Amino acid sequence: MKIQEIIENRGIEEVLHFTTNKGLTGILATNALKARTHLPEDKYLEYIYKYNCPDRSRDKEWWEYINLSITSVNRRLFNISSGKWHAGEDGWWCVLSFAPEILTHDGVYFANTNNMYSGVKRMKESEGLESLFAQRIHQYINSTVQRTANCPSNQPTCQQAEVLYPHELSLNYLTRIYVGSNDTAAKCESIQTIFPIYQKIPCVLEHDLLEL
């Protein structure tokens, strides 16, 4: 089965990435979502970038890849990033939604759990994508995740499963920006006015997605 067939059969509608308002500004300014190693190199990003996760030493060999999620964000990581690593900072968070066709692009890896976990399995192609929906996922030591009967078909078994996209992801595939409040939506739209090409990308209020 091809990746596109899996996308259609499972009803996968979006691939997500959460970021701060500063991250959003940099992403729009450079017309792309960039992997960790490329952020300090860009003249627009070197002064405003700030990593969602400050310590990625355990998966340093994967810094050339962007970390994305299918259907729902990695809630555990989002809560830690926003509530701990960036706690008390001015600003706000949003979630970028990309078209699922990016899963068919060359060089994409699929990690069946958090890419830093010792039990992670990474694979390419349709076998890799389908592995995210296995009945049982081993995370680390004695920790496993079991797929439940009520788990949506388009939701990976482990909510920390990742799509690893190489180098940079063009904003041509960006379909919407999720925000947590009407006030944040207004701020998001204000940033978009600086980059007219992105003014037509809708800011969608999704309180539950961004709730801490």
CA 15 to CA 76: how far, in whole Å?
17
Q: Range of 101's domain?
A: 3-210
For 37, list phi and psi in degrees, rounded to 5.
-70, -20
Percent of the chain residues past pLDDT 90, beyond the cut: 59
Whole-model pTM? 0.87
Segment 55-107, tens digit of pLDDT? 444 556 888 999 999 999 887 666 665 544 444 556 788 999 999 999 999 99
Domain count of the fold of the chain: 1
